[in-house]
Amino acid sequence: MTIWNTSKLVLAAAGLALVAQPALAQQPAYNSGYADDRAEIEDLMARYLFAIDFHDWDAYVETFAEDGTIEFASGTYAGREEIRAAVTRFAEGIGNFYQTEDGQPARLRHVILQSTVRVEGERAWATSLWVEMANDGPGDSLKMGTYGVYEDQLSKVDGKWLLSYRNVLNDFIANRQPGPENPVRGMDAAAEAYRASIPE
């Protein structure tokens, strides 16, 4: 289940109003500070990717709120120390999947292709398409590895945007695939449900 569906279930369990997805997709209304918030969120996402690809675990965990959570194929990890341990194990296992011709672990690179971002006050949601590549092709050339979707929830903490929840969906792993519905619609519904839950 994607986090957008999970978010809707949590809101429903709490007795909060849900906003149904419109039959026709409508573009959200953006407030005057949206560009600044989006720029900060996109910078945070880029810092996350540079940190994981260059094994800078201090920088990596600092993209998460202290009580942040990440979910991927190996499980769900909460708090910066659990997240650090999980991503370190991931990096140590790269050689099991990607190798140079001399049998060494290949260099892994992640790229975000496009992102949609919703901001409601000090909460935000993002959906991004990511790809993973490594130098494990013939002659250590570039080879596309896998791809998927990031589903993110973010919070502004002491004036800084941080990941409060990242769900890493992977199109090549059973039960970790996005869709079949457009995940952006689910993100919009989660954002609208949150906005509807705030007292006027």
What does the pLDDT read at residue 25?
Answer: 62
> How are beta strands 64-72 and 160-170 bridged, if at all?
parallel
Give the domain ranges of the chain.
33-197
Give 107's DSSP letter.
P
* pLDDT value of position 91: 84
pLDDT digit string (tens) for 53-69? 999 999 999 999 999 99
Q: Are 30 and 24 in contact (CB under 8 A)?
A: no
- Give the DSSP H/E element, type plus range, for residue 143: strand 143-157
Taking CA atoms, 67 is separated from 11, 83, 117, in Å, by: 20, 10, 22
- Per-residue pLDDT in tens (0 to 9) along the chain, 200 residues: 566 655 554 444 555 545 555 555 678 888 889 999 999 999 999 999 999 999 999 999 999 999 999 999 889 999 999 999 999 998 888 767 777 888 888 888 899 999 999 999 999 999 999 999 887 777 877 777 889 999 999 999 999 999 999 999 999 888 899 888 999 999 999 999 998 898 87
- Note the pLDDT of residue 116: 96
Structure pTM?
Answer: 0.83
pLDDT of residue 12: 47
Tokens matching residue 178: 């996005």
Alpha-carbon gap, residue 48 to 27, rounded angstroms:
28
Pairing of strands 108-120, 75-78: unpaired
| CATH T-level topology, domain 33-197 | Nuclear Transport Factor 2; Chain: A, (3.10.450)
